[in-house]
């Protein structure tokens, strides 16, 4: 009768080629592009030059974790449309 209470947040891994992975703690109902901004600021990237995909599909501007049925540990791929620029680094255990 009583189901397991679902957490209001999930922790997702954002991976990008040649850059350490970044972990984002995200509210389930927060549009993902708001966390994309935090990711870009963290790595010194232009937000318009980065796109997030999940399961090979671009994440839309208003999509949330719940809408995409994402769970703790799921992976977002970050793709950069620019060559060079940005600064990798940071500790892979950091959570934004």
For 57, list phi and psi in degrees, rounded to 5: -115, 135
pLDDT in tens, 24-79: 999 999 999 888 999 999 999 999 999 999 999 999 989 999 999 999 999 999 99
Q: Is 71 helix (H, G, I), strand (E, B) or coil?
A: coil
The whole-number average pLDDT for the span 21-26 is 92
pLDDT of residue 96: 53
Distance CA 69, CA 84 (A): 33
pTM score above 0.85: no
- Sheet harboring 9-16: ordered strands across? 19-27, 9-16, 75-80, 50-54, 57-58
* pLDDT at residue 65, rounded to an integer: 94
Provide the pLDDT for residue 58. Answer: 95
- 86: pLDDT confidence band, cut at 50, 70 and 90? low
Question: What is the C-alpha to C-alpha distance for residues 72 and 13, in angstroms, rounded to an integer?
Answer: 9
């Amino acid at each position: 009768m009583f189901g397991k209470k679902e957490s209001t947040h999930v922790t997702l891994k954002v991976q990008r080629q040649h850059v350490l992975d970044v972990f984002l703690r995200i509210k389930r109902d927060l549009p993902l592009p708001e966390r994309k901004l935090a990711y870009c600021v963290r790595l010194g990237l232009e937000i318009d030059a980065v796109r997030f995909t999940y399961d090979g599909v671009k994440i839309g501007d208003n999509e949330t974790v719940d809408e995409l049925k994402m769970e703790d540990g799921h992976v977002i791929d970050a793709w950069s449309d620019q060559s060079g620029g940005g600064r990798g680094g940071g500790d892979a255990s950091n959570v934004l």
